[in-house]
C-alpha cells in the first residue's frame, strides 16, 4: 500500500492545533510539570513540550482512564436505579505527540480489552481518539523498541505519524488511516504535497538487544527459577511500573457511596501489590514479591503471546525509568535470555 506522505511546515503545527480546536476536538499533549513530562488536556499550543525522549506516563489514560465510572446508582422510594456510563458523552480526542512505542501499545491494550468479551467503554473511548504519533529522533539507555517488534519510526497505531526532518526542521506526515485523512481534509492547506522523503536518517538508532521469541521459549520452562527471587530482591512492591506502562491493564472495581447514591469505579491496579491476589481467607497465591515479579514478566512475554497473540511490551522503557529502585526490565530480560537451561 502506498502511504500518503505530506510535508507539514514547523510553523504549521500551531495552525493545525487551532483548526482542531475550532473543530471541537479535545487535545491531549505532553506538558512538563515538576520536570516530568505527562499528557494533559491542552488549551493552547504554547506550553506543549517537544523536549522529551518519552513521557513519564503512557497515553493509555485516553482510553483506559485511571478511574472510570462504570455505573451510577441511586436508591429512592421507587426502588433502585442503576445507570451505565453514557457512551455519547465521550469526547472526540486528538492525542498529540505520542511516541511510536506508545502507539504500538494501543494494539496490545486493545487485545486485552477485547479478549472474547468486548469492553465497549474502552472501545468507544478509543474509537474517538485520533492518534498523532511523533517519531523519535533521540533515544536513551532505557529504550528497546527494536527488540520487541517496534522501531523509532513505527507507524503502527498512529493515524498520522509525524517525523521531524532534522532538528528544528519541518515534518513529514504519513497519513495512515481514515481518521488521519479526515484531519487532513479539514486542514488540507497545512499538509503540502511532497516528493518522497526518506525518514530513516532522521530517526534515533535503537540497537536490538534480545530476541523476544527466545525469551518466550525460556519462560515456558522458567516458572520455578531462582532467577525471579534474585531479580526481585530489590523490588519494593510499588505499582509505578504498571501505572506508567502503555499495556498494563490490571484493574480493580470499587464502589463509592455518597448517601443513597453513588457509583461503581473501575480503577487501575497492579500485580506488584501484595494485596492484588490476596483472598479474603488470608490465602495468597502470590505471597512474595518474586512471584509477583514473575507474573509481570510472564504476563507480558508468555501469557499474552500465548493467549492473545500479542506481546505485552513495547520497549518504551518507562517502567525502568519510573522504578524507584532501578529495576531495569531490559537488563532482566537479557539475563533471562542468557540463562542456559
Partner 1 sequence: MDDLRKRAKELLETSAVKVVIGYEQGTANKTRALFVEKAEDADCLIFDSRCVQNLATYVTKREVKDKGKMAITATLPVMRSIIQLASEFQVNDNNLLVLGITPESKLVEFKNLSEVETFVHQYQIEIDAKNKEMLDKIAKMTQAERWKFWIDELSPCFKCYACRAACPMCYCHRCTVDFNQPQWIPVPSHELGNLEWHIMRAIHLTGRCIDCDACYNACPLAIPINLLTKRMLEDVKINFGSYQPSIKADHLMSTYKPDDKENFIQ
Partner 2 sequence: MTDNLYMPYLMRIERVTYEAPGVKTFMLRFVNDDDQEKFNFKAGQFGEYSVFGVGESTFCIASSPTRKSFIECTFRQTGKVTNALSGCEEGSIIGFRGPFGNTFPIDGWKGKSLLFIAGGIALPPMRCVIWNALDLRENFKDITIIYGARTVKDLVYKYELQEWERRKDVQLITTVDPGGESPDWKGEIGFVPTIVEKIAPSSKDTIAIVCGPPVMIKYTFPILSSLGFTDENIFTTLENRMKCGFGKCGRCNVGKVYVCKDGPVFTLSQLKNLPDEY
**Contact set with partner 1 (CB under 8 A):** 33-36, 38, 56-57, 66-67, 140-142, 229, 232-234, 236-240, 242-244, 252, 254, 256, 265, 267-268, 270, 273, 275, 288-290, 320, 322, 324-326, 328, 331
Instruction: Tell which residue, 33, 36, 39, 30, has the closest CA to residue 61.
Output: 39
Cell of 190: 497545512
Cell of 25: 476536538
Q: Establish if 201 lies at the interface with partner 2 (CB under 8 A).
A: no
Binding-site partner at residue 67 among partner 1, partner 2, none, CB < 5 to 8 Å by type: partner 1
Residue span binding partner 2 (CB under 8 A) among the ranges 84-92, 93-101, 158-166, 185-193: 84-92
Calculate the alpha carbon distances from 267 to 44, 218, 249, 256, 332 in Å.
29, 33, 10, 12, 28
Q: Where are the alpha helices (DSSP H) in the chain?
A: 12-22, 100-113, 120-127, 178-186, 212-220, 227-232, 240-244, 289-298, 304-308, 318-322, 329-338
One residue of 116, 195, 198, 326 binding partner 2 per CB under 8 A: 116
CA–CA gap between residue 212 and residue 1 (Å, rounded): 28
Binding-site partner at residue 73 among partner 1, partner 2, none, CB < 5 to 8 Å by type: partner 2
Tell which positions 59-78 bind partner 2, by CB under 8 A.
Answer: 70-71, 73, 75
Q: Establish if 264 lies at the interface with partner 2 (CB under 8 A).
A: yes
226 versus 280: smaller Cβ distance to partner 2: 280
φ and ψ of 256, to 5 deg:
-125, 115
Instruction: Tell which residue, 145, 183, 67, 161, has the closest CA to residue 313.
Output: 145
Place of cell 514479591: 289
CA–CA gap between residue 18 and residue 24 (Å, rounded): 10
Tell which positions 145-164 bind partner 2, by CB under 8 A.
Answer: none
Calculate the alpha carbon distances from 113 to 65, 108, 123 in Å.
13, 9, 8
Chain-centre distance for alpha carbon 177: 19
CB 36, min distance to partner 1, A: 5
CB 252, min distance to partner 1, A: 6
14 versus 331: smaller Cβ distance to partner 1: 331
68 versus 159: smaller Cβ distance to partner 2: 68
Q: Establish if 251 lies at the interface with partner 2 (CB under 8 A).
A: yes
Q: Establish if 213 lies at the interface with partner 2 (CB under 8 A).
A: no
One character per residue 306-325, x = contact with partner 2 (rule: CB under 8 A): xx------------------
One residue of 91, 285, 325, 339 binding partner 2 per CB under 8 A: 285
Instruction: Tell which residue, 172, 29, 9, has the closest CA to residue 98.
Output: 29
- Point out which residues bind partner 2 (CB under 8 A): 70-71, 73, 75, 79-80, 82, 84-85, 87, 112-113, 115-121, 223-224, 249-257, 262, 264, 266, 269, 271, 276-281, 283, 285-286, 291, 295, 298-299, 302-303, 306-307
Amino acid at each position: 500500500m502506498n502511504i500518503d506522505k505530506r510535508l507539514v511546515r514547523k510553523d504549521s503545527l500551531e495552525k493545525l492545533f487551532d483548526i482542531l480546536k475550532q473543530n471541537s476536538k479535545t487535545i491531549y499533549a505532553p506538558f512538563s510539570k515538576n520536570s516530568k513530562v505527562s499528557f494533559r488536556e491542552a488549551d493552547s499550543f504554547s506550553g506543549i513540550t517537544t523536549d522529551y525522549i518519552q513521557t513519564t506516563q503512557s497515553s493509555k489514560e485516553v482510553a483506559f482512564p485511571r478511574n472510570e465510572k462504570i455505573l451510577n446508582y441511586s436508591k429512592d422510594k421507587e426502588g433502585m436505579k442503576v445507570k451505565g456510563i453514557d457512551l455519547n458523552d465521550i469526547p472526540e480526542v486528538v492525542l498529540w505527540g505520542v511516541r511510536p512505542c506508545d502507539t504500538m501499545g494501543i494494539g496490545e491494550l486493545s487485545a486485552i480489552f477485547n479478549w472474547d468479551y468486548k469492553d465497549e467503554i474502552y472501545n468507544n473511548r478509543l474509537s474517538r481518539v485520533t492518534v498523532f504519533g511523533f517519531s523519535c529522533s533521540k533515544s536513551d539507555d532505557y529504550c528497546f523498541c527494536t527488540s520487541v517488534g517496534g522501531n523509532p519510526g513505527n507507524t503502527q497505531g498512529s493515524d498520522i505519524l509525524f517525523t521531524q526532518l532534522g532538528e528544528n526542521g519541518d515534518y513529514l506526515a504519513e497519513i495512515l488511516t481514515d481518521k488521519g485523512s479526515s484531519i487532513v481534509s479539514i486542514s488540507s492547506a497545512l499538509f503540502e504535497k511532497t516528493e518522497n522523503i526518506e525518514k530513516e536518517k532522521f530517526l534515533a538508532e535503537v540497537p536490538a538487544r534480545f530476541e523476544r521469541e527466545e525469551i518466550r521459549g525460556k519462560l515456558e520452562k522458567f516458572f520455578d527459577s531462582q532467577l525471579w527471587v534474585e531479580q526481585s530482591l530489590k523490588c519494593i512492591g510499588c505499582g509505578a511500573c504498571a501505572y506508567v506502562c502503555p499495556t498494563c491493564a490490571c484493574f480493580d472495581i470499587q464502589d463509592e457511596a455518597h448517601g443513597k447514591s453513588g457509583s461503581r469505579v473501575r480503577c487501575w491496579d497492579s500485580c506488584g501489590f501484595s494485596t492484588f491476589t490476596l483472598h479474603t481467607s488470608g490465602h495468597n497465591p502470590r505471597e512474595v514479591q518474586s512471584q509477583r515479579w514473575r507474573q509481570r514478566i510472564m504476563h507480558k512475554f508468555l501469557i499474552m503471546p500465548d493467549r492473545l497473540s500479542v506481546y505485552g511490551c513495547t520497549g518504551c522503557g518507562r517502567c525502568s525509568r519510573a522504578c524507584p529502585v532501578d529495576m531495569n526490565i531490559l537488563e532482566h530480560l537479557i539475563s533471562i535470555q542468557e540463562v542456559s537451561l
